[in-house]
Amino acid sequence: MVAYPDEMLGERACAVLVPRPEVSVTLEEIVAYLRDLGIATFKLPERLEIRDELPRNPLGKILKRELRGRIATIKNSPLLHV
């Protein structure tokens, strides 16, 4: 999960996933799963980005700043209003 800029709210939540080759997932499925876990509505992702890989440093840690920058540049991703 990373934040991306939003003109009205300041920022929104985006789930970024690297699924296994044989697995497909939708934003609706993720939101339903998180709701079943009792996650608060304001913490639910409103956007889903599927990636082949995540940016990582040499030790394997995800570079969230770089990931946020990449997500912020994508303008036309579908949103799910929860």
Q: What is the mean pLDDT of each run of 10 residues along the chain (82 residues)?
A: 87 91 92 96 92 94 91 63 40
Residues 6+ apart with CB under 8 A from 55: 62, 63, 66, 67, 70
Token pair in block for residue 63: 């570079």
Instruction: Give, as one character, the DSSP assignment of residue 43.
Output: G
Rounded to whole angstroms, the Cα distance separating 6 from 20 reads 30
- H/E run at residue 16: strand 10-17
Going from N- to C-terminal start, the domains of the chain cover 2-72
Rounded to whole angstroms, the Cα distance separating 45 from 26 reads 11
CATH superfamily of 2-72: ANL, C-terminal domain (3.30.300.30)
